[in-house]
Amino acid sequence: MTAELGSIILVFAVAFLFFGLIPGIGAFFVRSRWRLFRRRIAESSLYPFLNYSDLSRTGDFLGRYRVFGHLEAIQGENRIWINNGSFTVEADLTQAKLYFLPSFSAGTRTVPIERLQEEVPDEQPALVSWNQIFSLPAGTQMFIAGQLYSEEGRAVFRSQGKDPLLVVLYDGQRNTIVQRAVWGGRQKNEYWNQFTLASLLTGAFCMVLLAYIFLRSSPSSLPVLFALSLAFFPIAGLLPPGFILYYLYRFFWKRARMLRAERDLLRLPLRYYPETEALPLESSAPLPTGESYLCSQDASLLIDGELIIRSASLPSVREGKFEDVVLFGTHTETDGQGRMQTPRDPMAELVLVMGDPAVLAQSCNRRARMFALLSAVGVFSALILNFFLLLLIWHLIIR
């Protein structure tokens, strides 16, 4: 009995290693990588735009800047030239990562309400190392942000230590890349990462190998049944009757992912203000372009520009149970009448939030955790149900 118990423990330990621990470590790595990408996109929007006068500054380190432009030329293996319409600047992409943003769907928005779940494909940005790219067509639209250095009298963007260069390739309007990056810059399913397939195949092979070893000593032993049943772990959730619970897991996980994206979008306008618990109503913050970015609940302000109406898929918002709306934009006075305008900075928004964005973001975060928990219950229920069914089938086969 002791030997059999030890064999069962060995089976579950190997299963946990290959089916749980290794993909789980990969999941944490992938989530942290995409979280870093979203944070760097938001932080880069606070950098000043590169001007021609900045290119002639003295010193080795010129500062942190951002620039929109299109690819003009590739020089050597790692250098590119970006033209922003006024001048060209060089970027060293040695060991750089390039992010390719998914496009907006065809057609224009007929109402100002933001529905990125319909306008942006349900896919994450493609992440490619520069050394894996053989060529790029001239005219490719790019956004580059990071440290600028002076090399032999030329200004060059390049990575330095733990501060890598941010390079984003996109199409469409430049004033949408922050929303698209924040909305789509997350893994569809963190469990499925670069380690998962090899780990699952190795784990299944180990289960079959252990079953073969145990069969030679005791064909009807529990370790054999457990090993053979766990060998089907990679596809266990897709088998009947557990596949119904598996699809519930996918539904709940997708909802959790969308709520986390809504949470991050709601927090976007707040990045210009000091971090406080209370919403900075009727206060302004400076934009990198020198404009004043106002947070207001004044319903008398006129809107001058392309307004975005942002909400969340929460019951309280769908039922209209919110006390106030909050407007963000640049403020001007014309003939004694206040106006909210679209900022000149393409990475800032003229946006109307249906409620307090900080409170809504917290609600989205709590609800996302609830759906993530429900998705975990769904997938584990599907796996356990099918596991015991497989145990019964293997028992009938080899008894």
10-residue block means of pLDDT along the chain (399 residues)?
A: 84 96 95 95 96 87 95 92 95 94 66 74 87 88 96 90 92 91 91 94 96 82 91 88 91 94 94 77 88 86 86 78 82 77 94 90 95 95 93 85
Quick one: 233 and 267 in the same domain? no
Cis peptide before 241 (omega within 30 of 0): yes
Does 109 share its domain with 172?
A: yes
Residues 61 and 173 in one domain: yes
* C-alpha count within 13 angstroms, C-beta hemisphere, residue 135: 2
Tell me, yes or no, whether 229 lies in a domain.
Answer: yes
The pLDDT assigned to 275 comes to: 77
Are residues 386 and 246 part of one domain?
yes
Last residue of a domain, one of 184, 207, 233: 184
Residues 205 and 158 in one domain: no
Structural domain boundaries enclosing 348: 262-365
Cβ contact 192:379 at 8 Å = no
Cβ pair 213, 228 in contact under 8 A: no
Of 139, 165, 184, which closes a domain? 184
Please report the pLDDT score of residue 55 as a whole number: 87
Question: How many Å apart are CA 384 and CA 386, to the nearest integer?
Answer: 6
Q: Which phi and psi (to 5°) does residue 124 adopt?
A: -85, 160
214 and 278, same domain (yes or no)? no
Task: Kindly state whether residues 348 and 370 are assigned to the same domain.
Answer: no
Domain CATH number, residue 83: 2.40.50.140
In a domain, 358, yes or no: yes
Residue 235 inside a domain? The answer is: yes
Residues 244, 312, single domain; the answer is no
Say if 257 falls within a structural domain.
no
Last residue of a domain, one of 163, 184, 205: 184
**pLDDT score for 255:** 94
Tell me the three state secondary structure of residue 348. coil
With respect to residue 216, please indicate whether it lies within any of the assigned structural domains: yes
Q: Look at residue 315 and tell me if it is in a domain.
A: yes
| Tally of structural domains, the chain | 3
In a domain, 245, yes or no: yes
Q: Are residues 244 and 270 in the same domain?
A: no
Same domain membership, residue 152 and residue 78: yes
Residues 69 and 16 occupy one common structural domain: no
Residue 198's alpha-carbon distances to 195, 205, 362, 376, 379, in angstroms, are 6, 11, 37, 22, 21
Cβ-in-10-Å burial (0-12, 13-18, 19+) of 213 comes to middle
- Do 7 and 102 belong to one domain? no
- Quick check: is 308 in a domain? yes
The closest of 64, 273, 55 to 163, measured between CA atoms, is 64
Q: Write the DSSP string, 52-118.
A: GGGGG--SSEEEEEEEEEEEEEEETTTEEEEE-SS-EEEEE-TT-EEEEPPPPPSS--SSSB--HHH
- What radius of gyration do the chain's Cα atoms show? 27
